[in-house]
Amino acid sequence: MYERKSRLSKHKQMRLIEDFVAVATDRAASEIVGVQANILHDNVDD
């Protein structure tokens, strides 16, 4: 597998990864707690 050249800067790439991980973490935590993911995400400080 090779790394594709991206038009996004490294900073923007890292920001997208951080946001993706935050949403995935929110979704997993919401499943454990039993609430909707968007409620949990709205109440967590970025």
C-alpha distances in Å from residue 46, one per residue of 7, 15, 18, 40: 26, 12, 10, 12
pLDDT at 42: 59
pLDDT at 11: 93
Neighbours of 22 (CB within 10 A): 13
Tens-place pLDDT, residues 20-37? 887 787 777 777 777 776
The model's pTM is 0.52
pLDDT at 37: 64
Neighbours of 40 (CB within 10 A): 17
Give the separation between CA 21 and CA 16, rounded to whole angstroms: 9
For residue 9, the one-letter residue type is S
**Domain ranges in the chain?**
10-42
